[in-house]
Each structure stands twice: as C-alpha cells, then as structure tokens.
Amino acid sequence: MIERQLFNAEHDMWRETVRKFVEKEIVPFHAQWEKDGIVPRELWLKAGEAGMLCCTVPEEYGGLGLDYLFDVVVFEELWRVGASGPGFLIHTDLVSTYILSFGTEEQKRHWLPKMVTGEAIGSLGMTEPHAGSDLKAIRTRAERDGDDFVINGQKVFISNGQMCDVLVLATKTDSSAGAKGVTLFLVDASLPGFKRGQNLDKLGMKAQDTSELFFDNLRVPAGAMLGTEGGGFPLMMTKLSQERLAQAIRSATVTETIIEWTVDYTAERRAFDQSIADFQNTQFVLADLKARSVMARVFTDKCIELFMAGKLDPVDAAMAKMTTSELHCETADKCLQLFGGWGYMWEYPIARAYADARIVKIAGGSIEVMKTIISRDMFKGRLGRTR
C-alpha cells in the first residue's frame, strides 16, 4: 500500500484527538439525529471548544491559525464513521473562507470568532429553485435603498439552513448584467425578513438540516456586502475548486471506509458452506474497487498538496471531484450488494452510506458540469468552429 505523505506527527496527534471526540460526542447520538433531521446546537459549541471548527482561521480572529490539513483531518474523521449530520464542512471550508478571503476587517472581527467557537453557525445561500450549477441565473434581488439594500427572493437545498446565524448570500443587484450583476452579502439570520422554510426530507444525509430560505424585504446595510457590487460571481468562482476538492476528499474517504466494512462482513458471513469472501466474484469486485480507490486517494492527496501551494487548477479539481464521486457511488452500490438483504436495512452503516452517497454526483457542481469543464479545456479554441 502507498503510504500517505501529507501528514506529520502533529496532524496524527490531532487525528487521535478528533477521533476520540467523534466517538464520544457524535457516534452514539447520530442515529437519533437522523430521526430528528438536525444535530443539536450544543454539538457545535462542543466542537468549537475542542478546536474542531475553522482550524485555519488566524489567531487574531480567535482561531488556531493552523494549516488546511487540520481541517481535512476533521472532515475525514467525520466521514469515516458516516457522520453526515454535522455541517462542519460548509461552515468551515466555505463560509469562514469567504469571510476570511473577501470580508472587511469589521466583518472578520464580528463573525469569525463566533464561528470558531460554534456560537455562530455559517451557511451558504446560492442554489435556487431555478438555478443550481448555473449560478449566474439566480433571481434573488437586492435593490439599493439609500445606504441599505432590500433583498427579496428564495433559496433552496441550503445546508445548515435551519440553524445558521450568518449566511453568505448570492443576489442579483443588476438583473440585466448576467454574471456581472451578482453581488454577495453577509446576512445576519436574526434580521427581520429572514424566513426559514421547512427542513427538507432528503434521500440521505438525514441528520443534516437542509432548508428552504425566504427573504421578504430583508434590509441589510451596504456594509454587509461581501466584496464589491457586481463582483460576486468571480468570488464564487475562486472558491469552487476548494469546494470540489472537499467533495473529492469526502468521496475518497468514504470509498475506503465502505470497502473496509465489506471486507470485514464478507469474511465473516457464510453461504453455501463458505464465507462470502471465498467466492471469486467477491474477491474480484473488491479487488477492482480497492485498486481504483488507491488511485483516487493518490490523486486526491496530490490535489490537496497543490491547493495548499495555491496551484490547484480548476480542471484538476473538476477531475478529482468527478472521478472520486462516481467511484464513491459505484462502491456503495456494489458493496451493498455483497451485504445481501442486510445491506438494505437502515441499521447497517452500508445502507446509510448508500443513501448518503448519491448527493456527491450533484453537490459542488454536477457530474455533467465537471465533464463540460474538462472537455472545454481539452478542446480549447476548437469547439464551435464552422467549416
């Protein structure tokens, strides 16, 4: 086996700390949270106290100022036990990163310390009923009124939507300008006009609250703008590679975990006077998945390395996201088959992993969008030519 080279002794010690937290504070309660459709706010506060939120936020804003790999460890340890409920990824990897990268000094000092402690939960408000991967097609409007902006519109499929305290919200300040009319705001969820819809009943990831959000004459000061007016779309584009890398890290981790579960199960489960693992079909299926999971892990780790050096290309991120998410779904399907009828029972982790897996081919940009990005790069200057 190829040994991972990314992590040093400090990261390994941190992994042990995170693993103990997850085993004590999350694993025993996650099944109930799936029934509830949400994790308790107390978990966020405990995670904040343990230093598990926003590890890369500098000390001047209340964080630990650690490198990205400390966040990676947190994400991997959650996914390794199938803990899809805590929406730490959105909070840490996206919302705090938007604020740290593009926020004013006042915005950073107001929100980041609270996000580090778990006092303020972050969410990302971009997807709409008529705009998913095509973000420039959003319809939520922000109209200037003196020194304020008045926001009206709707978002959907918003992770942490039921609990969020701060929302990075994508709006249109100029509907006729296409991508150049998109503006981002940091929205305080306690403001009048911010309305939470229902907690959506999803196929998987049932413990993570996912909501509709509505904005009814929501008034925010111009100082709540993130970046410049009309400059939101380029900001969103700069963070897509990071979001897609996170999806790849998730899929690589879960794929490895599912294979481990299946090896253990098939070695013990018997049929026709032999273990399921004794059948050549079992061996061949798992050998194929194992070989491809190793290749996915090596490429994903290389992308992490490039990201930390500021060199991760959007096309490489798209390839990592596409290949790992497809392998993730295939692995969940083929391994569930080897569990037989027990694999269809919700009490078995493989059943929940199967249900959770399907979103990875959609979240962070659909597989079709990833293929478009890759193919456009392959055929630069050649597509659309006339004879």
For the stretch 279-292, pLDDT in tens is 999 999 999 999 99
Closest CA to 267 of 277, 282, 281, 280: 277
Residue 194 and residue 302 in one domain: no
Cβ-in-10-Å burial (0-12, 13-18, 19+) of 224 comes to buried
Cβ-in-10-Å burial (0-12, 13-18, 19+) of 153 comes to buried
Q: Distances in Å between the alpha carbon of 113 and those of 39, 120, 153, 245, 316?
A: 21, 9, 29, 25, 33
Containing structural domain, residue 141: 123-228
Residue 239 and residue 373 in one domain: yes
Please name the amino acid found at residue 83: A
pLDDT at 387: 44
How many domains does the chain fold into?
3
Active site residues: 243
For the stretch 138-172, pLDDT in tens is 999 999 999 999 999 999 999 999 999 999 999 99
For the stretch 70-103, pLDDT in tens is 999 999 999 999 999 999 999 999 999 999 999 9
Please name the amino acid found at residue 266: T
pTM above 0.75, yes or no: yes
Residue with tokens 């413990």: 207
Neighbouring residues of 317: CB distance < 8 A, sequence distance ≥ 6? 240, 241, 242, 244, 245, 248, 303
Closest CA to 93 of 300, 244, 296: 244
CATH number for the domain including 353? 1.20.140.10
For the stretch 310-322, pLDDT in tens is 999 999 999 999 9
pLDDT at 385: 60
pLDDT at 382: 81
pLDDT reading at 185 higher than 90? yes
* DSSP state for residue 50 in the 8-state scheme: T
Strand partners, 143: 150
Residue 291 and residue 374 in one domain: yes
Beta strands in the chain (DSSP E): 122-125, 141-145, 148-159, 166-172, 182-188, 194-199, 210-221, 225-226, 270-271, 274-275
Does residue 285 form part of some domain?
A: yes
For the stretch 290-344, pLDDT in tens is 999 999 999 999 999 999 999 999 999 999 999 999 999 999 999 999 999 999 9
Does residue 387 form part of some domain?
A: no
Residue 166 and residue 257 in one domain: no
In this prediction, residues 99-126 reach a mean pLDDT of: 97
Neighbouring residues of 210: CB distance < 8 A, sequence distance ≥ 6? 157, 158, 159, 161, 199, 200, 202
